Amino acid sequence: MEKKLKDTVAIILAAGVSKRMNTGTPKVLQEVCGRPMLAYVLDTCRAVGISKIYVVIGFGAELVKKRFADASDVTWILQSEQRGTGHAVLCCKELLKSFAGKTFVLCGDGPLLRPEVLNELLQNHNGQTTATLATAILDDPTGYGRIIRDGSGSLKGIVEHKDCTAEQLKIKEVNPSYYLFDNRKLFETLGQVNNNNIQKEYYITDVFGIMLQKGCKVAVVAAVRPEEAMSVNTKEELDKLNGIMSKRIGCSCAGSRKEL
């Protein structure tokens, strides 16, 4: 019998445009081995027993909803103006403000996410933990938020690539954006996040620094394989993702990107 996590929900961020792909198709509907990227993330959530999933949509919202019209476990949340990942999660506040369990925050354009990673986050998130995040080590960390640790190896915070100093850019441990939070603490902290950064956006990553300043426990799990952390912002990167996925699931889709 399939397990169900009654105290855990997931928020999937799926509002992005992906301008560099030069297509009118929402990013999460770009196909990998014949399926939209978002489909893989939804299936991974279901595989670990999550039965309530909130998907934040924006660009091409109706197209995304239509493609997943039969997804009865999904609640669609509209982010009418894209103001960053922190703002996207805040769009779910009204529906989740009284929820006392745990909340995953994941990206809809990360189809290589494995159930094992989510299970490891759950196993490391105990009663004293406010937030748990998974990290990866990359030879080329360009474009990724860096994991900043203190002299003892404990997490100090996460700095987005565009906001990094020259020294921080040398860090190879990165943030692939797989998070698990105490839900009430998440929304309480998000209200204190500002947009004082180069992008003028509200980053979900800023909640970790705020939580740490308050003395909250934040756990870090190095559970993500390098290829699973890859970002997909161009058609070439999408082709590469197809190749990785084809090897994983044994399909013959490598290099067969389909324009929607």
Domains observed in the chain: 8-129+175-217+233-249 (3.90.550.10)
Rounded Cα distance, 208 and 180, in Å: 11
Annotated catalytic residue, options 20, 83, 149, 225: 20
Q: Contact, 86 vs 14, CB < 8 A?
A: no
Strands 53-57 and 8-14: parallel
Q: Kindly report, residue by residue over 87-111, the tens digit of the pLDDT.
A: 999 999 999 999 999 999 999 999 9
Output the CA torsion sign for 169, 175, 181, 183: positive
Six-digit token string for 81: 């103006």
Q: Contact, 242 vs 254, CB < 8 A?
A: yes
Fill in the amino acid letter for 156.
K
- Mean pLDDT, range 219-241, rounded to an integer: 91
Share of the chain above pLDDT 70, in %: 95
Q: Kindly report, residue by residue over 55-93, the tens digit of the pLDDT.
A: 999 999 999 999 999 999 999 999 998 899 999 999 999
20 given a catalytic annotation: yes
Longest dimension (CA), the chain: 51
Query: Residue 33 in 3-state DSSP?
Result: coil
